[in-house]
Structure formats: C-alpha cells, structure tokens
Amino acid sequence: MYAIAEISGTQIKISSGDIVRVPHQKLDVGTSITIDKFLFAVKDDGTVALGKPYLNGSATATVVEHDRDPKIHLLHKKRRKGYIKQGGHRQQFSMIKIESMAL
C-alpha cells in the first residue's frame, strides 16, 4: 500500500518502512510525528481511495536526521554597468522514517 500525504505543504508519496525527505521539521531527532492528511491511497488489493479533500487515517513516523542541500549560487549582473551582486542559499530538510500506516 502507498499513499500521497501532505506534509508541511508538500505532497509526498509514502509507504510503510520508507525513509523520505520532507521540508525541515522543528523537532529533535528520534521524535515521533503523526501524519493525518492523506490525499490519495492505493491499497494492497488494488483499490484506489481519493480524498475530498482528505482521507481518514493516520501514519506514524520518526525523525531520522536533519541536513541541508548543497549551496545554490546566485549572481545578479547588469551588463556594461559594473554591477555584480552575489549570494547563496542552502535549503534545510529532514529525513523521516514511516513506521506504520492505517487507512
């Protein structure tokens, strides 16, 4: 069985036992979280459930680690004017492990 869940405003495909990457969660490593917003699910027997807007059910997950993406370099330049502005950004994310799902 797998489902499409909404976690922190993003839609992520999850199934039991998966380790998935989600937007940064302000929780400590090892903390358990509950996911209850399911948009779509495919069960083991092949039946499809579509939420309007959400399905009833829940999943428990554990925060495995926090990390950051590689740096994205930004460059703003205006030609022939001598104007150059540089910057960068590293997006934070969390890895969670789906322990169990019940839909």
Residue 6 to residues 13, 27, 75, Cα–Cα distance (Å): 9, 18, 33
Sorting pLDDT into bands at 50, 70 and 90, what band is 85? very high
78-102 average pLDDT score: 97
pTM, full prediction: 0.84
Cis check for the bond before 53: say yes or no (omega within 30 of 0): yes
Q: What is the pLDDT of residue 62?
A: 98
83-89 average pLDDT score: 97
55-83 average pLDDT score: 97
